[in-house]
Amino acid sequence: MRMRARPPAVVLALTLALGCSPEGERLPDAAVELLDITGDHCAGLPRSGYAELERVPVSDDWFEVYRVETGVYALYEPFQFQEVISYLVLGDEAALLFDTGMGIGSISGVVDELTALPVTVLNSHTHMDHVGGNAEFSRVLAMDTEFTRERARGRPNRLVRSEVAPSALCRPLPEDVTEDTYHTRSFVVTQYIRDGHVIDLGGRRLEVLAVPGHTPDAIALLDREAGFLWTGDSFYEGPIWLFAPETDLDAYETSMRRLAALSADLTTVFPAHNTPVAAPDGLPRLVEALERVRSGEMAGSVSGPGVEYSFDDFSLLLRAGTR
């Protein structure tokens, strides 16, 4: 499988420049967002995984929408290098929007075209590429963590402008977005939730699983009856980013074991980047890979912001000096 990337195209210039302090203090959260995107991430589009999926036409061409299961839409942003995927999940009485993308196109407009049901937002975690459209919605659930509260304040232009620089894009920005004005809007959380929270959409129940690691507020979403698991950034096709200062590898390993333990009962995994449908057996394979990396058995290679450890159909990208 061709592994085209978020990261090989990316150098985290400032993160590297700052390095870790001798006391091992965390890097400023801001550092990881100052991306210097140098590679050609557009050459591999469209990804092959999309050929078999059912495309749903919407009027905002910043997004591509795919019906990946009955009542499950993937809202994909292919023209920005993160290739983030948000999901709209429909029940009989309500809908859940799991992530809101970059905030470049108007995701609420797309959602309005797909459903008339009342929509609640919940984020897989609160990195800027997943909360960009939160401000467009009046009902937002969020994990009850300090990290979440801080991220709900948004991110100013200086921290996120590189996300919309020409080198980060495969087509022009929508007319009302520019490199000088783009920012992550703050949003209001209407309800804080914790591990085990159940969202009842009517005929479909979604369980919130806290899976801290990638960030302190990372979650997965489980539809036990259907065997669907939404993994956010904990698992996706491509290099999995584990180099941010807020990433905790011990917590990540524990969380991935929790998800891998579910894999035998799953039919489909829906990740938050690159390709929207993955096989559940990737979860135990990821745990195995993580064990090999963390035991020192694997050699990695320097890549962009860290060290990359490559496996058959994914890789792990860790901060140099960590495992």
Q: CB–CB of 121/137 below 8 Å?
A: yes
**Span near Zn ion by CB under 5 A; candidates 18-26, 123-131, 145-153, 178-186:** 123-131
Query: Using the rule CB under 5 A, is 64 a contact of Zn ion?
Result: no
Which one of the spans 36-44, 56-64, 129-137, 288-296 is the region binding Zn ion (CB under 5 A)? 129-137
Letters for 196-235 (x = contact with Zn ion by CB under 5 A, - = none) are -------------------------------------x--
Site string for Zn ion, 137-166 (x = CB under 5 A): ------------------------------
| Residue 166 DSSP class | G
* Nearest approach, Cβ of residue 230 and Zn ion (Å): 13
| Virtual torsion, Cα 108, 115, 101, 78, nearest 10 deg | -110
99 interacts with Zn ion by CB under 5 A = no
Q: Which is nearer to Zn ion, 83 or 136 (CB)?
A: 83
| Closer Cβ to Zn ion, 163 or 233, answer by number | 233
Q: Which of residues 230-259 bind Zn ion (CB under 5 A)?
A: 233
> Using CA atoms, how far apart are residues 94 and 216, in angstroms rounded to an integer?
28
Q: Do strands 228-232 and 219-223 pair parallel, antiparallel, or not at all (unpaired)?
A: antiparallel
Q: Give the Cβ contact number of residue 82 at 10 Å.
A: 22
Least distance in angstroms from the C-beta of 82 to Zn ion: 6
Decide if residue 129 touches Zn ion (CB under 5 A). Answer: yes
Q: How far is the CB of 26 from Zn ion (least distance, A)?
A: 19
C-alpha–C-alpha distance, residues 24 and 36, integer Å: 24
Size, binding site for Zn ion by CB under 5 A: 2
Strands (DSSP E) contained in the chain are 10-11, 36-37, 54-56, 64-69, 72-76, 85-90, 95-98, 119-122, 140-143, 191-193, 198-200, 205-210, 219-223, 228-232, 238-242, 268-271, 301-303, 306-310, 314-318
Least gap, CB of 241 to Zn ion (angstroms): 7
Interface positions with Zn ion (CB under 5 A) = 129, 233
